[in-house]
Structure 1
Amino acid sequence: MIEPAFLDELARYDASLQRRVETVQQGHQRSTDVGEGLTFSDHRNYAPGDDTRLIDWRVYARTEELYIKQFEAERNLTVHVLVDASASMDFGGDRAEVGTPHKFEYAAKLGLGFASLAAAEHNDFRVSLLSETFDRLDRSRTSQGEVLRLVDVFNETEPAAETYFQRACEDYAATIDSKSLVLVVSDFLEDPETVEAGLSALQRNDLVLAHVIAPDELDPPARGDTIFRDPERDTKLRTYFGSHVERTYRDRFQEHRDEIEAIADRLAARYVAVDTGADFFDSFGEVWVE
């Protein structure tokens, strides 16, 4: 269960968060749209019907030609939060208990923290789930009240679907109309090629990947005769989990983790491996602050 009180404690990161926001041009994203903004762009010849208030009279004095000042429209930074809602994210502690490391709730709190700090800096945020495609949860209201509503939404969400990661990311990327900060929170338990194809659709933005990993995934408690279940495909595998199988598992898990980090490097994205057994605020600080 996510308790909204955790949002109050994010104030401890104010100084470093300011630096983080500045790296993505806090409050102003330059756009190719032309309008009456604060950033001068260029001149163009005056045409009948143009606003005479935009005539550059200094240029006229030098050239005896009428020119209009053009400005780049300024936009607020938009923070996009994408949280994996696949069945594999339903792993870890009991969701009914406060403080237990449940993978989906830990991921949701990371996303909610980003949304809350975006609202505090008067920037826009969008929050969505990734499953077969994307499911947008926010109501286009950038406020702390909306963040609190999203806490309830996440508490009522059961991660259960099989995620079509590539399609979900590509569908979402088509909705982004300006360069933004995009946080993807996932366990990335997909084929690496699929992960890379999906993230490639988002790479024109400032992309941050939070790779959430539960302690039991790093160090499986299983020993001996064990039945493993795939939560996304609802299939089971019975095996003897001895030392050889354990070593093979650890090697393959580390290899997959390394592949996801390599994808981030190729896409110029920032990658952070997040242990859901670690203190949440320590993890949040690592994800937010460069």
Structure 2
Amino acid sequence: MTKPLLPEDWLAKISRFQVATTSKLRGQHKGSHRSQRFGASLDFSDFREYHLGDDVRQVDWNVFARTDKYFIKRFLDEQEMRVHILLDATKSMSNPAKWTFARQLVASLGLMVLGRDDRLSFSVVQNDRKPPFRRKGAIYRRAFLHMVSMIEEATYTDSFTKGALAALPKDSTVLFIVTDGLEAIAEWEQLLKRLPRFAGDMRIVQVVTQEELAPPYMGDVRLLDSETAQNVNVTMSTKVVEGYLARRLAHEKEFTAICQRFGVRKLQVKVEDGLQTAIFQQFIKAHWIR
């Protein structure tokens, strides 16, 4: 029997939370978020004088009886948030612990969105391109969790940054990209500068492992390149490890800088810290959920 992607009590834990954003809501359908426009919800805002052409059903006759003037009621409009989640399925994500953790993050975010009557879309950058998941409402939570659970392997053979744009819708309020961020900085630049066309609030969840941050190997080892499947014989001396750490740190600094340059928020989460730390500490502290 396949092990469940999320703990049994996880849905109850995340049901209290929702995705937080200050971006303008793009959805035109009824939702649970107050927009800056006025509409026909049950949340009263204020009065304004009646003008020719206004709906007479909105006239407040109690105010007319007191003032002998016509005023109509205004109500806060409620709109849906549209959230898209994009998952990196390149081979560098194929480490079992990293891949499971990335899908757990995707599932948790998606369940939050669906539970709040917002519209969720989800896509994976993979060789076998499939139509994105697009649903609204808590009734689709089980279907979404099943879909994410069934994505068994990360086997995409091309660059994630080159394949990402084709998998994105252009009508999102919030865009989450779940990736390890290992593509070249020049490739990230080409992707990030185009993201504002797809969403107002752009976020990257960078999934890393302790092994990637600080390799524990010493001596002669044979490493397998997950992207090319080639074996590489390496003598892991202190100098080699220090060189790796320096290159990784330089990549992280450039990655963070380019995200800031294009208005993309980035949060690095470590697999070994666990799902609860990522969701209930890091995401809340970053004001990504509330």
Give the TM-score range, shorter chain: 0.7 to 0.9
Q: Distance in 2 between matches of 1:6 and 1:212?
A: 23
User: Structure 1-normalised TM-score?
Assistant: 0.73
Give the alignment partner of residue 27 of structure 1, picking from 4, 28, 32: 32
**Deviation at residue 28 of structure 1 after TM alignment:** 4.3
Structure 1 117/133 Cα, relative in aligned 2: closer, same or farther at 3 Å? same
Give the alignment partner of residue 194 of structure 2, picking from 195, 201, 215: 201
Structure 1 250/162 Cα, relative in aligned 2: closer, same or farther at 3 Å? same
Structure 1 241/6 Cα, relative in aligned 2: closer, same or farther at 3 Å? farther
Give the alignment partner of residue 287 of structure 1, picking from 264, 276, 283: 283
Residue type of the alignment partner of 2:32: G
Match of 1:253 in 2: 248
Give the alignment partner of residue 98 of structure 2, picking from 103, 113, 132: 103
**Deviation at residue 278 of structure 1 after TM alignment:** 0.2
Q: Distance in 1 between matches of 2:106 and 2:141?
A: 10
| Residue correspondences, number | 251
**Deviation at residue 255 of structure 1 after TM alignment:** 1.4
Task: Give the SS at the match of 1:188.
Answer: coil
Match of 2:80 in 1: 76
Match of 1:96 in 2: none
Residue type of the alignment partner of 1:195: W
Give the alignment partner of residue 270 of structure 1, picking from 265, 270, 279: 265
Residue type of the alignment partner of 1:161: Y
**Deviation at residue 21 of structure 1 after TM alignment:** 2.5
Q: Distance in 1 between matches of 2:104 and 2:98?
A: 10
1:10-89 alignment to 2 at 5 Å? 10-11=13-14, 14=16, 17=17, 21=20, 23-24=22-23, 27-28=32-33, 75-89=79-93
Residue type of the alignment partner of 1:226: V
1:154 aligns with 2:148: yes
Which consecutive residues of structure 1, in runs of 5 or more, have no partner in the other structure?
Answer: 40-45, 58-72, 93-101
Q: Cα RMSD over matched residues? A: 3.5
Structure 1 9/214 Cα, relative in aligned 2: closer, same or farther at 3 Å? farther
Task: Give the SS at the match of 2:146.
Answer: helix
Residue type of the alignment partner of 2:257: A
Q: Distance in 1 between matches of 2:181 and 2:113?
A: 25
Match of 1:214 in 2: 209
Q: Distance in 2 between matches of 1:250 and 1:9?
A: 40
Q: Which moved more, 1:278-287 or 1:146-155?
A: 146-155
Contact 1:167 1:198 (C-alpha < 8 Å) held by counterparts: yes
Which consecutive residues of structure 2, in runs of 5 or more, have no partner in the other structure?
Answer: 26-30, 46-51, 60-76
Match of 1:7 in 2: 10
User: Structure 2-normalised TM-score?
Assistant: 0.73
Query: Cα deviations across residues 62-92 of structure 1 (Å, max 9, x unaligned)?
Result: xxxxxxxxxxx96410111111111111114
Q: Distance in 2 between matches of 1:201 and 1:30?
A: 26
**Deviation at residue 37 of structure 1 after TM alignment:** 6.5
**Deviation at residue 288 of structure 1 after TM alignment:** 5.1
Task: Give the SS at the match of 2:273.
Answer: coil
Q: Distance in 2 between matches of 1:236 and 1:193?
A: 26
